[in-house]
Structure 1
Amino acid sequence: MTFENILAEQKGRILYITINRESKLNALNQATLSELSTCFSSAFADNNIGGIIITGAGQKAFVAGGDIAEFSVLNNKSATERAQEVHTKVFDLIENGNKPVIAAINGFALGGGLELAMACHIRITADTAKLGLPEVTLGLIPGYGGTQRLTHLVGKGKALEMILTADMITADEALQHGLVNYVVPQTELLPKAEDIMQKILLRAPLAVAAAIKAVNASHTSEGFATEIQQFGKCFDTDDMKEGVAAFLEKRKPEFKGQ
C-alpha cells in the first residue's frame, strides 16, 4: 500500500508506520490523518499483521502537532465536525483496535502528536523527546482526545497543569508521571518497541484483543463528547483567530478574552 504522507512497511507480523513529513515536523494535516485512518483500518483487518509500531521520520519530531494553517478556515460547526470525524476515524480507531499499537516517540510529541501517541496502547520515548499540549497558546484546547487521555494517564492535577500552562515536559518527566512506559536512547527506541511487540505476539491474539477492549472500557465516552463540543466553540472566538494568526506570522499572540 502506497501513501504520500506516511510510510507503511511490514516485517514479519509487525507493521511499521512512519509519518513521513519531516520538513513539516510530521505535522498532522487532513491528508495525513486520512492516510492513517486507511492504513490502520487495513492493518486491523489483516490476519497477517499482529501488531503496529508507529513513529515519525527523522530524529527531531514524532509529530509536532496539527497543521495550524488548516485551522484558520474553521468555525464552530466545521471544527466540531472535523474533531468528531478525526476522533472516530483515527484516534478512537487506534485505541479500540483489535491489535496492539506501540508509539515510538522519536522527538517532539506536541498537540495532536501527543494525542496520537496517547491513543496508542504503549508509549516508548527517546530520551531527547519533549511532550506537551500547547493548544491554549492558540486560543484552543486539545481536540483529538487530549483532555481525556492525558487525565487518565497522569491524573487530573498534572493534566490541568500541562494543558493550562502549555509547558512541555521531558521524557524523564513523562515517565515519572506515567505518560510513557519507557525512556531509552534514540538508537534503542525501535529495538525496545520491537522487543515488547515480539513478546505480545507470543500471546493469544484473541485474548490480546479482549484485554485491549476490557481496559478501554474503564472510562466512558462522555468526556470526549464534551471535549469535542468545547473544541468547536473555541473556533468562534477572537482569541483563537489571534492565536492562529500569531503562530503563522511568527509573533506572540495578544489575547483579549473574547
Structure 2
Amino acid sequence: METKNIIIEHEKGTATVTINRPDKLNALNKETIEELHFWLKKLDENENVKTVILTGSGEKAFVAGADISEFAHFSDKEGALLAAKGQDLLFNFVENMKTPVIAAVNGFALGGGLELAMSCHFRIASDNAKMGLPETSLGVIPGYGGTQRLAQLIGKGRAMEMIMTAGMIDAQTAKDFGLVNHVVPQADLFATYMTIADKIQRNSPVAIAKAIEAVNANYKDGVNGFEVEIRKFGECFATADFREGTTAFLEKRKPEFAGK
C-alpha cells in the first residue's frame, strides 16, 4: 500500500510511525486510518521491530481529531458503521498489538487523536500538549472508544467532566490524572521515547506480548483477567525466552532473548 499520509522510520529495533497531514493538523481521515492499519499490521508481524512509536508530524499536533468533512452528512446507520469500522481497523487493533506501541503526544491530541493515543499501550507527552474530547460541542459523542478508555484511564467522574464540557487539559494535568506517563520538553520527546524503547527491548518480546494480553483481559466484558494471567504465565514456561531468562539469571549474565 502507498503511504500518502504516514512516514515510517526504523532505528535500533524501534519503528516510528508519523502521521503526516500537517496542513490538516494530522486529522484522521478514512485513508489515513486504512494506511495505519496496513502498516501497523506489517510492523507487528516483523520480528525485527520490538517497539512502535506513534506520533504526528510537526510540533503543533499529534492528531487534532477526525476529518469532520468526511462524515458531516452521514445518517445514523452510516455513523454507527463509521465507528465500528474505525474501532476494528485501528483503535482496537492498536490496543491488542503484541508489539508495544507508545504514543508520543506532541501538541494537540483531540477527539479521534486522543482516542488513538489512548489505544496505545502508554503515552508520553511534550509539555505543550493539549488533550480533550470535544465531540459534544459538535452534537456527537466520542465514537472510537473514547468514552470507554478515558474512564478506564482517569476514572468515571473526570471522564464525564471532560466529555460533557468538551474542554481541554494540559500535559501536566494529563499526567496528574494518569492519562500520560511522562511529560517532557518538546525538544526531549524523541530522546525520551527512545530511552524507554531501549529499556523495553532488553526484555523478552514473548513475555511482553503475553503481558499485554493479560492486562487487556481485565477490561474485556465476560473475561476473567486472573484466569488469563494464569494461562499466559504458564505459556511462558514453554518458551525459549523463559529458558534463556532464567539461565542468564542463574549464571549472573544479561539474557539474550530470541523472541521465541
TM-score, normalised relative to structure 1: 0.84
Query: Are the equivalent residues in 2 in contact too, given 1:2–1:8 (CA < 8 A)?
Result: no
Which residue type is aligned with residue 25 of structure 2?
L
Distance of 2:2 and 2:103 partners within structure 1: 21
Structure 1 unaligned regions, length at least 5: 223-258
Q: Tell me the SS of whatever aligns to 1:32.
A: helix
Give the residue type in structure 2 aligned to 1:187.
Answer: A
Partner of 1:188: 188
Query: Paired residue for 1:76?
Result: 76
Q: Deviations over 1:74-93 (max 9, x none)?
A: 11111111111111110111
Bigger mean CA offset, 78-87 vs 107-116: 78-87
Give the AA of the match of 1:113: G
Alpha-carbon distance in structure 1 between the residues aligned to 2:194 and 2:212: 19
Residue 153 (str. 1) matches residue 153 (str. 2): yes
Q: Which amino acid aligns with 1:181?
A: N
One-letter amino acid of the structure 2 residue matched with residue 13 of structure 1: G
Which position in structure 1 is the counterpart of 2:237?
none
What is the percentage of aligned positions where both structures have the same residue? 51
Instruction: Please report how far the alpha carbon of residue 221 of structure 1 lies from its aligned counterpart in structure 2 after TM superposition.
Output: 5.1
Structure 1 distance, partners of 2:190, 2:114, is: 18
2:29 is aligned to: 29
Deviation at 1:190, TM superposition (A): 1.3
Task: Give the aligned residue type for 2:33.
Answer: L
Give the C-alpha shift of residue 73 in structure 1: 2.7
Query: 1:210 maps to which residue?
Result: 210
Q: Distance in 1 between matches of 2:95 and 2:130?
A: 22
Aligned to 1:56: 56
Q: CA deviation digits over 1:53-90, x for unaligned, max 9?
A: 01100000000000010111311111111111111110
Alpha-carbon distance in structure 1 between the residues aligned to 2:72 and 2:153: 31
Within 5 Å, give how 1:65-214 maps onto structure 2: 65-214=65-214
Q: Once the 2 structures are TM-superposed, how far is the Cα of residue 10 of structure 1 from its aligned partner?
A: 1.3
Distance 1:94 1:68, change over 3 A: same
1:8-47 → structure 2 map (5 Å cutoff): 8-47=8-47
For residues 203 and 161 of structure 2, what CA distance do their matches in structure 1 show?
38
Number of residues of Structure 1 aligned to a counterpart in Structure 2:
222
Decide which moves more: 115-124 or 73-82: 73-82
CA distance in 1, matches of 2:55, 2:135: 22
Q: How far apart, in 2, do the equivalents of 1:146 and 1:62 lie?
A: 16
Give the C-alpha shift of residue 12 in structure 1: 2.3
- C-alpha distance in 2, partners of 1:188/1:180? 16
Which one-letter code corresponds to 1:70 in the other structure?
Answer: E
Deviation at 1:105, TM superposition (A): 0.4
TM-score where L is the length of structure 2? 0.84
Query: Structure 1 residues 221 and 113, CA, compared in 2 at 3 Å: closer, same or farther?
Result: farther
User: Which structure has the bigger radius of gyration?
Assistant: 2
User: In 1, distance between residues paired with 2:26 and 2:215?
Assistant: 30
TM superposition shift of 1:48: 1.2
Segments of 5+ residues of structure 2 without an aligned counterpart are 223-260
CA RMSD of aligned residues (A): 1.1
**Runs of 4 or more off by more than 6 Å in structure 1?**
none
